[in-house]
Amino acid sequence: MTTALFAGSFDPITVGHVDIARRALSFADDLVIAVGINPVKRYLFDLADRVDMVQRAVEELGVEGGARVRVVQMPGALLECARKVGASIIVKGVRSAADFDCEFPQAVVNRDLGGIETVLIPARPELSVVSSSVVRELLGLGLDISRYVPAAILPFMRDNGEVAEPRRSREK
C-alpha cells in the first residue's frame, strides 16, 4: 500500500491544489494532505480554518476509487510529518520552471535525509496561473475568486470578496 503526502500552506486551497491531489490518487492508495505553518509567512487564514477548508475541498476525493484521503496539521518539518503518517512518497505540484527550481533541491534533500522520494506533478496548463497568492490578491481587490477556489470553501469568503472573519485567532 502506497501512502503519499501532499503538503502546503493552502492559504487558501485552490482548484489547482485539488487537481494535484486528485492526480496523486492515480498512483497512491492513500493520500495525506498536510496543512503546514511556515514561520516566515503571514497567513490570511489561521491553521484551523485552512485545515477545515482543505477537508471540505477534498471531501469527495475520499470516495473516488476507494482511496483514503486524510487532512492533518503539520506543525513541524515535512520529513517528520512523512514519517509520522507512514508516507513513502511526497507529492508536489509545479506550475513553472521557477517552481521546479525551488522543488528540485528540496526533493534531493528529502531523499538524502529522509529516504523518501518526491513526485513532481506538473500543473495542467489551464491551472498554471492559479495560486493561493493570486487568490489572496484578488480577494484584497474585491474581485471574483470563484473560478480559482473549490466551491466548498466559498462560505469562508464574503460575497463582496472580503475575507470572512476567522473563527479563531490568526497566526502571525
**131 has catalytic annotation:** no
Could you tell me which of 50, 52, 55, 56 has the C-alpha nearest to residue 11? 50
- How many Å apart are CA 36 and CA 9, to the nearest integer? 5
**41 has catalytic annotation:** yes
Residue 155 near residue 146, CB atoms below 8 Å: no
Give how far Cα 64 sits from Cα of 4, 67, 91, 123, Å.
16, 6, 18, 20
Peptide bond into 122 cis (omega under 30): no
Catalytic residue (choose from 56, 92, 95, 131) = 95
Residue 25: helix, strand or coil by DSSP?
coil
**50 has catalytic annotation:** no
- How many Å apart are CA 76 and CA 96, to the nearest integer? 27
The grid coordinates listed for 102 are 525551488
Catalytic residue (choose from 26, 41, 96, 170) = 41
**17 has catalytic annotation:** yes
Active site amino acids = 17, 41, 95, 132
